[in-house]
Chains A and B, each alone.
Chain A
Amino acid sequence: MITDGRTLEHGTKIQSDVCIVGAGPAGIAMAREFSDCGAFVCVLESGGISMDASVQELNRGIDSGTISRQDHLFDSRNRVFGGTTASWGGWCRPLDAIDFEARSWVPHSGWPFQKSHVDPFYTRAAEVFDIEPFDPGSVEGLKPPGRFVFGRDTPVATKIFQISQTYLGKFAKRHSSELEASENVHVFLHSTVTELVTHDAGDVVSRIEVACLDGNRYAVEAKYIILAMGGIENARLLLLSNRVQSAGLGNDYDIVGRYYMEHTWIDGAGSLVFLDARSLYEDYGRWSFPALSIDADLQRNAKLLNFRVGLEGRDVTHSADTKAVGKAIARLHRPRAYRNPDFPRYYRLDVSAEQAPNPESRVTLADTRDALGNRQARLTWKLSETDWVTIRRSLMIVARQMGVERLGRIQITFDESDAWPEQTNGAHHHMGATRMHVDRKQGVVDENCRVHGIANLFVSGSSVFPTVGFANPTLTIVALALRLADHVKTLLSIRT
């Protein structure tokens, strides 16, 4: 059932077994799991079925840090049923096994479990997005595999992404009718959670305060509460909920909001002249594509973070100089082929790299307030030298391998000595601000995504990622959401 929260009587109190805060990919995936399970599940969504400018205004905040960005908090998030899948490109890929490991050269790295533990949930998440499961037993997951750019035993690995057909708002449409028809899952729209109120001891959330922009207010009481509000809002709500615990919930050790990460994105980091008349995309079709990454063993040996470089060959215009150089290189390397108009192929190189966990990169509360009277988020996204070294060195490794394999030449648009290039940005993936760690002094949530010190409060979403690899986070967000749904069902004595 789906209801507009503004139509509830002011002061209404709703009782539920589970309350999911947020109807983005994590919230919707969990709500589907609870459908027809016997428990009453309440889903609170700040936005409506379609985008509403006044609701979207609640996303505004203060953005500062290494890279100057205007309106990032506003532009990179959607308060609407379906969450940020409304502007999602559909890119799906699991994290790599190395991303879960504690790496000696990456401080604060290591998940409480290995990738093999998450693999069954990745398979279930693939069903949610209507993509092929990534088979962990095969080299790169897909059957049949696309063409590998390099061989299989080289320092540069070919990584495959799938594109879900539920991109750009189709995810919400696909799943809304199922939730509309559900008898035990009740979605309330235009319902923004403003505070989690605990008992005096501060270890159990007793009430969830909800506000609508028209002034209506109501409350929810639930046995279990799951925050699925997005990578920044999860941390913000914990910080805002400071009525009993002055630092906010789960924040005894000042971890909430810290270790905030994004995938560092550099558009047009370089160009590739590829000495082949055939497009790299030919073997992949419409719904998957390759990218290049550094082999895990080389990451270990060279002490690098994870990294990928995308080969963008569609709808890209290359400069006359790049094409002239390409023809010159082609004439020397393939004198019999260079007159072919499709030869060589040109690709723009777009980098998306892992950011190292950094306690100084963080979400805090600003002094400015939103329309509901709550303090806005202040985002201080801080990059480190490790992040920059990884990008520079990894791109050089890829460029070198192109030469070793005689496949082409790469131009890198920045120098070793440069500071962060002007086109550096985040990939709009907000991660790490309520990180997972078994030790409450090092993490906000435990291995089951329960907030340390709060018996009935859980967090879902990329904010729990301790490290982030290079893969876009949505598939992992949903995999972990399904895992969490299983866990909460167990707590409710519901068979999974």
Chain B
Amino acid sequence: MKRRTFLATTAAASGGVGLVLLSKGCARHAGPEALVVQTAEQLALEPGVRLLGQAYLDQTPRENQRDTLLAAIVGSLPSPEPAATGDDVIVLLLNQFGREFEQDHTVRVDGWLLSYTEARLYALAVSIRDS
């Protein structure tokens, strides 16, 4: 399976959310990075993501770079299986959010209490959308 075909397949499997974006973001990443970018691209379609993502970037300007955000998100996750899909990465992300809430590794973004990884994911979505 070619890389683009694989991504389109995993996107469709991740909930039928109408993913059509296979952006420049995916093109320069592979492995878990690509799957996280793909998830962020899907989220970028939601207007509410801009509210959260932009607020996080405004209060954390030192992270206002796509690669910085992506590295922080991927670095927080356990390594996915080589054949991991978008669905698998979402599960890893959601588990990580829960762990961060348990560890009180949270941040207030526009008043919303989010896990750091979750907030960075919204910020990554904004970063991708704006690029």
Contacts and interface: CB of A to CB of B under 8 A. Distances in A.
Interface of A: 270, 321, 323-329, 331-333, 335-336, 338, 396, 399-400, 402-404, 406, 409-413, 415
B67 interface: no
A329 B98 contact: no
A324 B48 contact: yes
A448 to B, nearest CB: 47
A400 B113 contact: yes
Given A324-B48, A335-B90, A411 B97 contact: no
B17 A270 contact: no
Contacts, number: 82
Contact of B94 (A270, A406, A415): A406
Given A328-B122, A399-B113, A403-B101, A335 B15 contact: yes
Interface residues of B, number: 33
A411 B93 CA distance: 21
Contacts of A332: 39, 43, 90, 93-94, 118, 121
Contact of B106 (A321, A323, A400, A406): A400
Contacts of B94: 332-333, 406
A325 B121 contact: no
B16 A336 contact: yes
A287 to B, nearest CB: 32
Contact of B115 (A338, A396, A403): A403
Interface of B: 14-17, 39, 42-43, 46-49, 51-52, 90, 93-94, 97-98, 100-102, 104, 106, 108, 110-115, 118, 121-122
Contacts of A270: 111
B101 A404 contact: yes
Contact of A403 (B39, B46, B110, B113): B113
Given A335-B14, A336-B15, A412-B111, A404 B46 contact: no
Q: How would you classify the secondary structure of chain A's contact residues: helix, strand, loop or mixed? A: helix
Nearest to B53: A328
A326 B90 CA distance: 18
The 9 A-B pairs at the shortest CB distance, nearest first, are namely A335-B15, A403-B101, A328-B48, A324-B48, A328-B46, A325-B48, A399-B113, A411-B111, A328-B49
A412 B51 contact: no
30 contacts: A270-B111, A321-B48, A321-B51, A324-B47, A324-B48, A325-B48, A327-B47, A328-B49, A328-B52, A328-B122, A329-B48, A331-B43, A332-B39, A332-B90, A332-B93, A332-B118, A336-B16, A399-B113, A400-B104, A402-B113, A403-B97, A403-B106, A403-B113, A403-B114, A406-B97, A409-B114, A410-B112, A411-B110, A412-B108, A412-B111
Contacts of B49: 328
A336 B93 CA distance: 16
A417 to B, nearest CB: 11
Contacts of A404: 98, 101-102
Q: How would you classify the secondary structure of chain B's contact residues: helix, strand, loop or mixed? A: helix
Nearest to B121: A332
B108 A406 contact: no
A324 B43 CA distance: 12
Given A324-B51, A328-B122, A332-B121, A411 B112 contact: yes
Nearest to A401: B101
B46 A327 contact: yes
Contacts of A410: 112-113
A409 B90 CA distance: 17
Contact of A331 (B42, B97, B111): B42
B43 A412 contact: no
Contacts of B47: 324, 327-328
B50 to A, nearest CB: 8
A146 B100 CA distance: 30
Contacts of A324: 46-48, 51
Nearest to B40: A332
A318 to B, nearest CB: 12
Nearest to A332: B43
Given A328-B122, A411-B110, A335 B17 contact: yes
B98 A406 contact: yes
A156 to B, nearest CB: 12
Contacts of A400: 101, 104, 106, 113
B48 A326 contact: yes
A33 B117 CA distance: 62
B101 A331 contact: no
Nearest to A325: B48
A411 B106 CA distance: 13
Q: Which of B14, B15, B46, B98 is most buried by chain A, counting CB atoms within 10 A of its CB?
A: B46
A413 B111 contact: yes
B17 A331 contact: yes
Nearest to B47: A324
Q: Which of B43, B98, B112 is most buried by chain A, counting CB atoms within 10 A of its CB?
A: B112
A406 B47 CA distance: 22
A371 B32 CA distance: 78
A331 B46 contact: yes
A413 B110 CA distance: 9
Contacts of B16: 335-336
A58 B97 CA distance: 57
A157 B122 CA distance: 31
A328 B113 contact: no
A404 B49 CA distance: 21
